[in-house]
Amino acid sequence: MKRIFAAALLFGACACAPVAAPTAPAPQAENAQSACAARGGSLERVGRAQTLQCVVPYADAGRACRDGSQCSSGNCQGAVDVAGQTNVTGQCQASNMAFGCYTRVVNGRADAAICVD
């Protein structure tokens, strides 16, 4: 019985041992950061899960539009409260990050609102 207790105590102590934090960034992270910077972006934690993604801003971000064909990103977005309305002017998408709430404006008409976490 004493041996079982001693073994359980030893295994329990090992499970709680602190793990040393890495002192240098992993090579993969450095490569990802370099590749992202080469695209003109920055690595950011985005969305509900806070995943690391390369966020690249678009040159025409915020420019008035009535259809995605007028934007370099291909997405013309409007506010959530204009969903379903016609004769809508939106704005060209700010970056390649798709998170948030918006409506897509197509031919001056706002589609249904969408929220992406």
Q: Is residue 6 part of a domain?
A: no
Q: Is residue 35 part of a domain?
A: yes
Residue whose C-alpha is closest to residue 90's, from 99, 98, 80, 100: 80
Q: 92: helix, coil or strand?
A: strand
24-63 per-residue burial string, b: 16 or more CB within 10 A, e: under 16: eeeeeeeebbeebeeeebeeeebeeeeeebbbeebebeee
Q: Is residue 2 part of a domain?
A: no
Show pLDDT as tens, one digit a residue, over the chain (117 residues).
Answer: 455 544 444 444 444 444 444 455 566 778 899 999 999 999 999 999 999 999 999 999 999 999 999 999 879 999 999 989 999 999 999 999 989 999 999 999 999 999 998
Tally the domains of the chain: 1
Q: Is residue 18 part of a domain?
A: no
Q: Is residue 52 part of a domain?
A: yes
Model-level pTM? 0.68
What domain range includes position 69? 29-116
